[in-house]
Amino acid sequence: MMSRLLPNEYVPSVFDISLDDLKARGIKAIITDLDNTLVEWDRPEATEELVDWFAKIKESGFQIVIVSNNQEKRVSKFAEPHGIPFIYSAKKPMVRSFLQAAKKMDRKTEECVVVGDQLFTDVLGGNRAGFYTVLVAPVVESDGFFTKFNRRLERVALAWMKRKGMIEWER
């Protein structure tokens, strides 16, 4: 079970993801979480740096879809100004929304990467669906009400994986 919580890669933020490395792996599409992955969970719009990152992704030939457990109003208000397709109320870690995102981009599982800040939603769901997964540090330390519980469990899981030598990075 713990191996399903293990991301293929860890980077401090989405800006540290190597698009060249993803291309070398045959990745053509990015399935990303929204809250605390791209922006703070309570920020309604993208930062200037993130808008530049979206442009870089598109210029590099990648497709992108946001998959969020949040409500339609929150996700659409963020994604639509940038022309980014999205899936809301995703029920992660259920695999359906991840597979739906790949289908929306007309991509195979092996052509997509799942990027997110949570082990028990993004990484677990992406791994269960067979995607390459990248864990990023949360944008901010504060979280929404329901995420706080997951973070406590994450700390326990990460400490256990570190003790077992499964991970070498700090979060």
Q: Is residue 170 part of a domain?
A: no
**Torsion sign, CA atoms 36, 7, 149, 96:** positive
What total of structural domains would you count in the chain? 1
Q: What is the extent of the structural domain holding 58?
A: 2-163
Taking only the tens place, the pLDDT of each residue in 10-51 is: 999 999 999 999 999 999 999 999 999 999 878 889 999 999
pLDDT band per the 50, 70, 90 thresholds, residue 122: very high
Q: Amino acid letter at 79?
A: A
pLDDT score of 111: 98
Q: What is the CATH number of the domain that holds 13?
A: 3.40.50.1000
The mean pLDDT value of the chain amounts to 90
171 in any annotated domain: no
Q: Does residue 109 lie within any of the structural domains?
A: yes
The residues, any chain, with a CB within 8 Å of residue 55's CB and separated by 6 or more, are none
Residue 165 or residue 73, greater confidence: 73
Q: Is residue 169 part of a domain?
A: no
Q: In which band, very low, low, confident or very high, does the pLDDT at 2 lie, cut at 50, 70 and 90? A: low
Residue 33 covered by a domain: yes
Averaged pLDDT for residues 135-145:
75
- pLDDT value, residue 109: 98
Average pLDDT (140-149) is 63
Q: What is the CA radius of gyration of the chain?
A: 15
Domain presence at residue 81: yes
Q: Average pLDDT in the 63-73 region?
A: 97
